[in-house]
Amino acid sequence: MSVQIQVTEKSFLKDMKPNTVLKDIRFELKKGSFLTMIGPSGCGKSTLLKIIAGIDTDYKGVVVIGGKTIRQPGIDQGFIFQEHRLFPWMNVEQNIAANLNLKDPKVKLEVEELIEIVRLSGYEKAYPSELSGGMSQRVAIARALLRNPQVLLLDEPFGALDAFTRKHLQDVLLDIWQKKKITMILVTHDIDESVYLGTELAVLRANPGQIQKIIPIDLPFPRSRTDSSFQYLRQTVLGEFEKTESPMFANGEGI
């Protein structure tokens, strides 16, 4: 399903006055795109994601997913947070099924398939306390996928993980994206991650949050971080960062 986003204005109250956080954000994604989004802290990335998810409806504009105007959260918009938010009293398969009945053979089969896709076979009966952060995040991803979302929205999903686990989960996510052909929108603070995953990359600037540039990432998959074309795109993204004039970008690290 295609995604059309038009956020003409989003404000929050600050010191009793409206403070414009997002302004004139307009873009369209084709079905199966993978948009990565980066920008300085506080530029409104999470707010934009919540608007697309239908969690925040207090803004001027419209979000249309597959021809339907989004006015509330729904199963078409899966949302993955930085922390996994699993139920501690449920095991892996119960967490994935959540409010769906695991005794239903169709649900059970789909849960089993997803456990394989997110590479958690053997951990079906494990509880969140027995899982690493990366494993827990894979459970959260499987739970969202079971609802067959049109769009999967991911807010810094790997931000709390170590570099090795993060790289592994990036490949798991790409695998899911290729198998399920879901449109993905992922917010990250990591330039490498944004170039490694995205088919297009949006750089946002702050005060108010606006799109600085949308950069197409035309590299074939699987991608190699050491390729000169990868490095070239990384530099292009860095150049756009510097234009956002945040001192945090100056050393070329993550944001």
Residues that bind ligand ATP (CB under 6 A): 12, 21, 39, 41-47
Q: Which residues, at least 6 apart from 142, have a Cβ–Cβ distance to it below 8 Å?
A: 96, 111, 114, 115, 117, 118, 120
Q: How far is the CB of 39 from ligand ATP (least distance, A)?
A: 6
Q: How far is the CB of 43 from ligand ATP (least distance, A)?
A: 4
Q: Is 24 left (phi over 0), alpha (psi -120 to 50) or beta?
A: left
* Residue from 254, 251, 184 nearest 40 by CA: 254
Which C-beta is closer to ligand ATP: that of 81 or that of 230?
81
Which C-beta is closer to ligand ATP: that of 44 or that of 128?
44
Which C-beta is closer to ligand ATP: that of 45 or that of 166?
45
Q: How far is the CB of 199 from ligand ATP (least distance, A)?
A: 21
Prior bond of 216 cis (ω within 30°): no
Which C-beta is closer to ligand ATP: that of 110 or that of 155?
155
Cα–Cα distance between 185 and 126 in angstroms, integer? 29
Which C-beta is closer to ligand ATP: that of 49 or that of 131?
49
Which C-beta is closer to ligand ATP: that of 46 or that of 236?
46
Q: How far is the CB of 41 from ligand ATP (least distance, A)?
A: 3
216: helix, strand or coil: strand
Q: How far is the CB of 137 from ligand ATP (least distance, A)?
A: 17
Q: Which residues, at least 6 apart from 199, have a Cβ–Cβ distance to it below 8 Å?
A: 33, 34, 35, 216, 217
Q: How far is the CB of 25 from ligand ATP (least distance, A)?
A: 12
Give the residue ranges of DSSP H helices in the chain. Answer: 45-53, 92-97, 105-117, 133-146, 163-180, 191-197, 228-243
